Amino acid sequence: EGAHILMKTFPAPKLRVVVNDDAIPFNREGKNVFCSFVEDCDKDIKLMDEVMVVDSSDNLIAIGRAKMLSFQTGIAVKVREGIKEA
């Protein structure tokens, strides 16, 4: 619920990590976001920030903590909770 409020408060791309469509089903299940599936992100995100994982249309997919966003491999976001489709 809090992520939906934040999305209304902060316009895209603030606090968002945009993922590739192929990753969406896995992230909705609560699986972590890997760097290779990140298409874009807020350039001001820092390590350990709470972030919202979204698709290219800014639909909420998951919430989690930023691990790394500047590398090509590894976990970009440790997902805390996947968001089921509305």
Spatial distance between the Cα atoms of 12 and 29, rounded to a whole number of angstroms: 23
* Mean predicted lDDT score pLDDT of the chain: 93
Q: What is the pTM of this model?
A: 0.92
Q: Which residue has tokens 């998951």? A: 62
The predicted pLDDT at position 86 comes to: 60
How do residues 51-78 score in pLDDT, each as one tens digit?
999 999 999 999 999 998 777 889 999 9
Q: What is the DSSP letter of 16?
A: E
Residue 64 parent element (H or E): strand 60-66
Task: Identify the helix (H) or strand (E) that includes residue 7.
Answer: helix 2-9
Structure tokens at 51: 């972030």
